[in-house]
Copies of this chain bind each other. A is one copy, B any other.
Amino acid sequence: MKDAHALLHQLSQQPIDLTKPGVLNAHRVTSMCVEACGLKLLYGTERIDDRVIDALERLAVQGNALQQMEAMQAGEKVNRIIGFQSENRSALHTAMRDQFGHTHNGIEARLYAEKAARELQKLKGFLDRIEGKFIDLVQIGIGGSDLGPRALAIALEAYHRPHHRVHFLSNVDPDDAAQVLRHLDLTKTIVVVVSKSGTTLETLTNEEIVRARFAKKGLNPKEHFVSVTGETSPMDDPSRYLESFYMWDVVGGRYSATSMVGGVALGFCLGYQGFCEVLKGAHEMDLHARSTPVRSNLPLLNALFGIWNRNYLKIPTLAMIPYSQALLRFPAHLQQLDMESNGKRIDHYGHPMSIQTGPVVWGEVGTNGQHSFYQLIHQGTDPISLEFIGFKESQYGEDMQVAHTTSQEKLLANLFAQSIALATGQASDNPNRVFPGNRPNRMVLAKRLDPYTMGALLAYYEHKVVFQGFLWQINSFDQEGVQLGKVLATKILSHFSTQRTKEKAEPFPVAESYLRQLDS
């Protein structure tokens, strides 16, 4: 069997031209569609044809994509660089939601599914105990302890229980804390501090600031603070927290929204059952991802189209555009998920990559983006690839006909129009009205953005990213690239603290010249 890479490379020399009359037709749109867990993936506007799909399927088979997904969900040590010191552990975010009959029999998978079940029971009891006591919840965390839970809480605001608001405090910028705390009644506020290690600089600093604010009001922080942390971390401390929920090394930050990292805040605002619906959607997508053949497997197909666009059509960025105001912060979560997972330059043997890995992922909600950066997508000098998300129904159902159509219809008409326009382009005698087209894009459609669908969408993108990592043979679960900045920041901090501690800071002339710029 011919090497899939060579075949794809050959096919990429002359990809299908979507701007040719009749190429993007109704049959193409209808037939290039697969469905699972309430999500429909439409990919007729990608620059692919049957030969490309065959070759991508071959790539997935030769790369053992499905076997690797099965191994990950079973608990094999997929987070490793072979031959070098590395985290060397499994990646079991799927076990967090394997709570509907414990479907997976892998020993590690079962172990962590059971641990997660205990935390869920703890959460249920905890939510019952605090019922009616708190109106505002502030989650302190950064990165994975912030972006995923925040995106989901915002996305599901239409489903929040009355008098259950959530807020997020992440940045070490003191103005973030000042702003978040400004309008809260602390007597009715619960604070969830999230840090796996219990040592994250930003999180610990903000925790101290918020604790001091409670103390100043004469309130006992212990009655208001909850931790989500590793067992045995410094934050697993009943003398300081009303309750501690556990997370584990096998669940990476950016994959942790369905663990207690997202669970406490989402359970608070959606109710326990609402959070379980999110888990159910994610779990069913997990099952789909590990057991469905390539051509019907939504996240795997998505991963393959991404690889085709990235490695063969050489497109460096991916715009994520949900046509849904509720998904306002979902692109920021997907940006972290994708770029922190697959922004890697070595394979899992430690060899430098010879092809490109993860693209720059960016985006805003539609239709807003149309009035902003779409100019460049349509008529810039670099091709861009796009993923859209759309829903048949709005969340609130508060809509109105203006000029014979509802707002939801206007939203969908714009989504479909952009997908078509980007693919087909337009010829014109006026060079400024020429649209080159052939901007590859795909779309996920669902009925409505509810907790179940949100869970399915979340897992759909997690598995897309993971499948791409498997096929690139990289480690999608570590993040060594964040370490150097941390080390240098600590060194520079000692230059700030030296005047207070009287200790001498290690010389760091370049950094000192930055510090002098602040004062001159």
Contact = CB atoms under 8 A, between A and B. Distances in A.
A367 B179 CA distance: 16
A161 to B, nearest CB: 14
Interface in A403-447: 403-414, 416-421, 425-426, 430-436, 445
Interface residues of A, number: 156
A228 B399 CA distance: 25
A226 interface: no
Contacts of A475: 432
24 contacts: A25-B509, A26-B509, A81-B430, A143-B372, A158-B179, A171-B366, A173-B367, A173-B411, A174-B394, A175-B398, A209-B407, A340-B372, A340-B373, A343-B378, A346-B431, A355-B381, A358-B380, A377-B481, A378-B482, A378-B484, A379-B481, A405-B500, A416-B488, A417-B485
A497 interface: yes
A342 to B, nearest CB: 8
A158 B175 CA distance: 9
Interface stretch (A229-237, A255-263, A299-307, A321-329): A321-329
B500 A401 contact: yes
A371 interface: yes
A489 interface: yes
Contact of A406 (B174, B365, B367, B418): B174
B171 A368 contact: yes
A483 to B, nearest CB: 7
B373 A343 contact: yes
Given A358-B380, A480-B379, A173 B403 contact: no
Contact of A172 (B253, B410, B432): B410
Contacts of A177: 398, 407
Contact of A175 (B326, B376, B377): B326
Contacts of A25: 509-510
Interface stretch (A6-14, A60-68, A106-114, A511-519): A511-519
Contact of A174 (B144, B376, B408): B408
A197 interface: no
Closest 3 CB pairs of A and B: A343-B376, A143-B371, A417-B488
A405 B493 contact: yes
A404 B325 contact: no
B402 A489 contact: no
A325 B33 contact: no
A317 interface: yes
B26 A513 contact: yes
Contacts of A174: 394, 396, 398-400, 406-408, 411
Interface in A125-164: 142-144, 146-147, 157-158
A24 interface: yes
A324 B173 contact: yes
A237 B26 CA distance: 45
Contacts of A403: 205, 497
A184 interface: no
B497 A332 contact: no
A201 B413 CA distance: 12
Nearest to A356: B381
Contacts of A493: 405, 409-410, 413
